[in-house]
Amino acid sequence: MDFFNTIGLNHYLVISAILFGLGLFAIVTRKNAIVVLMGVELILNAANINLLAFSKYNGGMEGVMFGLFVIVLAAAEAAIALAIVINMYKTFNTVDVSSVDSMKE
Amino acid sequence: MMHSLIQLSIVVLLLPLLSFVLLIFLNRRLPRSGDFLAVGILGATFAVSAWIFWEVVVVSYDPSFKLSWSFNWIDFGDVPGVGPLQIKMGIMIDNLTAVMLAMVSLISFLVHVYSTGYMAGDKYYGRYFAYLGIFTFSMLGIVLSDNLFSIYIFWELVGLSSYLLIGFFFEKQSAADAQKKAFLTNRVGDIGMWLGILILYSQFHTFGYEEIYQHIKAGDFRMSQAWLTAAGVLLFMGCVGKSAQFPLHVWLPDAMEGPTPVSALIHAATMVAAGVYFVARIFVILTVDALHVIAFIGAVTAFMAATIAITQHDIKRVLAYSTVSQLGYMVLGLGVGAYSAALFHLLTHAFFKACLFLGSGAIIHAMHHEQDMRWMGGLWKKMPWTFATFTLATLALAGLPLTSGFMSKDAILAGALGFAEVEGGGIYYLIPVLGFFSALLTAFYMGRQIWLVFFGKSRAHLKPADEHHGHDSHGHHEAHEVPWAMRMPLVILAALSVFAVFSPDPLDGAKGWFMHLVQTPGTVVAADMSHTGVNVHHEAGAVIEKGIHKEVTAHHVPETEHGEEHGKHYGPVYDDPRQAAIAHAAHENHDLAIMYSSIVVALGIGLALVVYAFGFISPEKTAQRIRPLYLYSFNKWYWDEIYDATVIKGSLFLSKLFAWFDTNIVDGIVNGVGALVRRFGTSTGRFDNYAVDGLVNFTAFFVQSSGAAMKKLQTGKVQTYLVMVLVAVTGYVVYYFVQLMS
């Protein structure tokens, strides 16, 4: 019953796992490329939460540093991914990932 | 430097070859198919031969005349297992050669002349003369040869030309059959002859006659006497084939399918006499046993052929059997040791038989290719020239006095009588008895022929209609005398059948030039003691008394005196006691022979007249009365049937047997191996197809089908891939944890 009375590491991890699951769900199920990107952001943030939670309960600063890296990375990733989406739109005239399957065979 | 006569003889030999070469290649381009060339060349051949004849016979007139010349033709050096092997070619001219040269070239020339009339208009006119040319060449080669090897070559060449000429009308099936029969029958004899040559060669390493004589005389024959007898009999087999002696006589009557002038030249006068000539050449090496074989074969041949000739209807067949019979006489004569008589008969027979054949050719020509004597008759008025010459030759053949045939036949029969006496009678008397009986038959069938052909009324209309053949659209035309080109040879040949050509005494040929020049050579074989009782290893070779040829009418000398005088006055002196005894006895029996043969000839002709001229005895009824004998004769003693049943059926059976062996055993083995290999191949093939290829194909199939299955996973949709990654990772994690927990 301790789980409901005091907030510990596990709570963070659960939140993070839920967030990861939602992100994954969005990536797999959504058709819109933008939404898929948003799913990716969710997963990155889930990872960030994990990093920060481990950092807090471990007492070092390494986790925070990794968190900052991930944020930077996410920004770069978003920029590149959006560029890809724009090109994709230019090429296929759509942002629906399910209809872009020219890699087949 | 060669002797000029040798040079001349080479010219004689090569001229007919020139005729052959020119005509065989050019006959279509020359006017008249070049017959004038052939006749001209043969005329030249005869002229040169006559020159040689003149030089040898008339100018030299020496019984011991002999010229020879030879060169190394092939030198094989020292052959391992054989010894030194040199083959020589050469030419030998003695009196016999000179006479034969003149005879062959004269008859060949006359036949050429005659053929220009007889063969006129034939499709292959030029080729005919070319064949005559090669025949004359080979025949002269036989006559001029000085060794066994070259005589064998020319022997085969005359066989070839005979083959070509018998089958000259090769579009006719019977002619084609006859030429094959002649060739194959001769082959049997020639194999024997070749074996005989090889026996002598194996002993002496030479083919030359003279060397062989010398070697045998010197006693160089290392094997037993039986081998020498075998060699003699084997060499004689060549004569049996070529001279149509019993039992290889069957080809000669069939050879009458050839053109009639060819029958006259080859199958009466020259080629068939080559066998006799050859036996004369090897005469001195023949042992007594071999001579006995020869004598009996000759007697049987003479008798058998004479009995057959009686009943034949075909004019040429009668003459053919008469030829066989007369050749039998010659062989008989050689066998009994009457050497000169046999060769004399060869010469006289050549002329009168050639005359008879050319005469029959004239008749056939005049009768539009009718050969059956039953439908002839009454021709003597229409063809007086043919009639006269034919009759004269017939008289010579029958052996009437004043003809050449009388002298030669009589000499042979005297020799046979003497032989029988010396051999001690008994079975040996069969030989003269058969000889005289054949003489009777000869007179009879020749009388019959003359009567049927020339006398009585024409029976051409009696011929059954269904026997008419192609020519008979003009078959009822009147017979007419033949042109001069055909008449002239008949006259010349008939003239040569008169006694005066050969001897001044019509009763005794021994007084003539021929018997003087061609004398019995002394044997070189050691005397056989069982026959003479004298053990002499004599120096053989006749010691010939030159120049002594007195006109001693030995018949008038009393018996005892005559015996002593014998050697001096009559022919050669023999060192061999047997030869001497036979010559002596033959001479003593000369009068007897004249008497007997005159009686039998008179009987024969009388019988023919009684039967055919006066009609006292009907031939048909007699034939009915002795029907088995008549049929036996008419069917030629059934020799063709016997050969058909034994030799031909036998070889056919053998060949079928071998064919069966071949198809079933040999082919069976081959096919069995083939089948085995094929079966093995099939199974390895199957292994290849199913196992090896299966593996390879399966690999390919597996890769292909798995690829096909896998390619469905590649949808091209990123999200699907992601799900797969997710599933895989999840699966792995679950698996990891399950491992971890267990």
Among B714, B719, B726, beta carbon nearest to A104: B714
Contacts of B104 (CB under 8 A, 6+ apart): B49, B136, B139, B140, B143, B269, B270
How many domains does the structure of chain A reveal?
A: 1
The answer to whether residue A59 sits within a structural domain is yes
Q: What is the mean pLDDT of residues B1-21?
A: 88
> What are the φ and ψ backbone dihedral angles of B249, each rounded to 5 degrees?
-80, -10
At residue A75, the pLDDT reads 93
Give the number of A-B residue pairs with CB atoms closer than 8 Å. 29
At residue B511, the pLDDT reads 81
**Domain span including residue A30:** 2-92
Q: Which residues of A touch B717 (CB under 8 A)?
A: 97-98, 100-101, 104
Contacts of B403 (CB under 8 A, 6+ apart): B352, B392, B395, B396, B497, B498, B499
Beta-bridge partners for B84: B78
How many other β-carbons are positioned within 10 Å of the β-carbon of residue B176?
15
At residue A14, the pLDDT reads 92
B346-365 confidence digits (pLDDT tens): 999 999 999 999 999 988 88
CATH number reported for the structural domain that contains residue A14 in this entry = 1.10.287.3510
Chain B interface includes A88 (CB < 8 A): no
At residue B541, the pLDDT reads 35
B446 neighbors B396 (Cβ within 8 angstroms) = no
Chain A interface includes B723 (CB < 8 A): yes
Which of A20, A35, A103 should we substitute to test contact with B (largest number of B Cβ atoms within 10 Å)?
A103
The answer to whether residue A99 sits within a structural domain is no
Q: CA-to-CA distance for B278 and B96, rounded, in angstroms?
A: 11
Q: Which residues of B touch A24 (CB under 8 A)?
A: 726
Q: CA-to-CA distance for B207 and B72, rounded, in angstroms?
A: 12
Torsion of CA B642, B646, B652, B657, to 10 degrees: 160
Chain A interface includes B727 (CB < 8 A): no
Residue contact B714–A103, C-beta within 8 A: yes
At residue B538, the pLDDT reads 36
Which of A32, A88, A98 should we substitute to test contact with B (largest number of B Cβ atoms within 10 Å)?
A98
- Work out the minimum CA distance from B674 to partner chain A, whole angstroms: 54
Please, is B738 exposed, middle or buried when counting C-beta atoms within 10 Å of its C-beta (0-12, 13-18, 19+)?
exposed
- B572 pLDDT band, cuts 50/70/90, is low
Closest CA to B185 of B539, B648, B506, B516: B648
B397 neighbors B449 (Cβ within 8 angstroms) = no
Beta-bridge partners for B94: B66
The answer to whether residue A105 sits within a structural domain is no
Beta-bridge partners for B91: B69, B145
Q: Which two tokens stand for residue B456?
A: 């009585």
Residue contact A24–B711, C-beta within 8 A: no
Residue contact A28–B719, C-beta within 8 A: yes
Residue contact B717–A24, C-beta within 8 A: no
pLDDT tops 80 at residue B509:
no
At residue B74, the pLDDT reads 85
Q: CA-to-CA distance for B288 and B422, rounded, in angstroms?
A: 12
pLDDT tops 70 at residue B527:
no
Chain A interface includes B726 (CB < 8 A): yes
Q: Which two tokens stand for residue A33?
A: 């490329």
Which of B713, B714, B717 should we substitute to test contact with A (largest number of A Cβ atoms within 10 Å)?
B717
Among B711, B715, B722, beta carbon nearest to A101: B715
Among B714, B719, B723, beta carbon nearest to A105: B714
Among A27, A98, A105, beta carbon nearest to B717: A98
- Work out the minimum CA distance from B671 to partner chain A, whole angstroms: 58
Q: CA-to-CA distance for B711 and A104, rounded, in angstroms?
A: 9
Q: Which two tokens stand for residue B364?
A: 């056939």
Q: Which of A71-85, B385-399, B631-645 has the lowest mean pLDDT?
A: B631-645
The answer to whether residue A33 sits within a structural domain is yes
B460-487 confidence digits (pLDDT tens): 777 776 554 544 444 445 677 788 888 8
B189 neighbors B238 (Cβ within 8 angstroms) = yes
Q: CA-to-CA distance for B98 and B105, rounded, in angstroms?
A: 11
- Work out the minimum CA distance from B726 to partner chain A, whole angstroms: 9
The answer to whether residue A103 sits within a structural domain is no
- Provide the 3-class DSSP secondary structure of residue B539: coil
B511 neighbors B340 (Cβ within 8 angstroms) = no
Contacts of B313 (CB under 8 A, 6+ apart): B372, B373, B374
Rg over CA atoms, chain A: 17
- Work out the minimum CA distance from A68 to partner chain B, whole angstroms: 27
Contacts of A16 (CB under 8 A, 6+ apart): A46, A47, A49, A50, A53
- B535 pLDDT band, cuts 50/70/90, is very low
The answer to whether residue A9 sits within a structural domain is yes
- Work out the minimum CA distance from A36 to partner chain B, whole angstroms: 10
The answer to whether residue A87 sits within a structural domain is yes
Residues 12-51 of A with CB under 8 A from B: 24, 27-29, 36
DSSP string, B104-160: HHHHHHHHHHHHHHHTTT-TTHHHHHHHHHHHHHHHHHHHHB-BHHHHHHHHHHHHH
pLDDT tops 90 at residue B732:
yes
Chain A, nearest residue to B719 by Cα: A28
Closest CA to B139 of B260, B55, B284, B20: B20
Q: Which residues of A touch B716 (CB under 8 A)?
A: 100-105
At residue B473, the pLDDT reads 44
Residue contact B719–A102, C-beta within 8 A: no
- pLDDT over 70 for what percent of chain A? 98
At residue B87, the pLDDT reads 86
B273-319 confidence digits (pLDDT tens): 899 999 999 998 888 889 999 999 999 999 999 999 988 888 899 99
Q: Which residues of B touch A40 (CB under 8 A)?
A: none
Residue contact B723–A28, C-beta within 8 A: yes
Chain A interface includes B719 (CB < 8 A): yes
Q: What is the mean pLDDT of residues B89-93?
A: 90
pLDDT tops 70 at residue B530:
no
B191-221 confidence digits (pLDDT tens): 999 999 998 888 888 888 888 888 888 877 7
At residue B140, the pLDDT reads 93
- Work out the minimum CA distance from B690 to partner chain A, whole angstroms: 34
How many other β-carbons are positioned within 10 Å of the β-carbon of residue B146?
25
Mean pLDDT over the full length of chain B? 84
Taking the whole predicted model, whether its pTM rises above 0.80 is answered as no
A19-40 confidence digits (pLDDT tens): 999 999 998 888 898 999 999 9
Among A98, A102, A105, beta carbon nearest to B719: A98
pLDDT tops 60 at residue B489:
yes
Q: Which residues of B touch A100 (CB under 8 A)?
A: 716-717
Please, is B597 exposed, middle or buried when counting C-beta atoms within 10 Å of its C-beta (0-12, 13-18, 19+)?
buried
The answer to whether residue A13 sits within a structural domain is yes
ipTM of the complex: 0.82
Chain-centre distance for alpha carbon B736: 115
B9 neighbors B144 (Cβ within 8 angstroms) = yes
pLDDT tops 90 at residue B705:
yes
At residue B428, the pLDDT reads 87
Q: CA-to-CA distance for A97 and B174, rounded, in angstroms?
A: 106
Q: CA-to-CA distance for B158 and B220, rounded, in angstroms?
A: 33
Q: Which two tokens stand for residue B629?
A: 């004998």
B420-473 confidence digits (pLDDT tens): 888 877 888 888 899 999 999 999 999 888 888 888 777 777 777 655 454 444
Q: CA-to-CA distance for A67 and B674, rounded, in angstroms?
A: 87
Chain A interface includes B725 (CB < 8 A): no
Chain A interface includes B708 (CB < 8 A): no
Q: How long is chain B?
A: 742
- Work out the minimum CA distance from B712 to partner chain A, whole angstroms: 9
Q: Which two tokens stand for residue B404?
A: 């050449």
Chain A interface includes B724 (CB < 8 A): no
pLDDT tops 70 at residue B546:
no
B552 neighbors B565 (Cβ within 8 angstroms) = yes
Q: Which two tokens stand for residue B426?
A: 């008994």
Contacts of A53 (CB under 8 A, 6+ apart): A9, A12, A13, A16, A63
Among A27, A100, A101, beta carbon nearest to B722: A27
At residue B526, the pLDDT reads 67
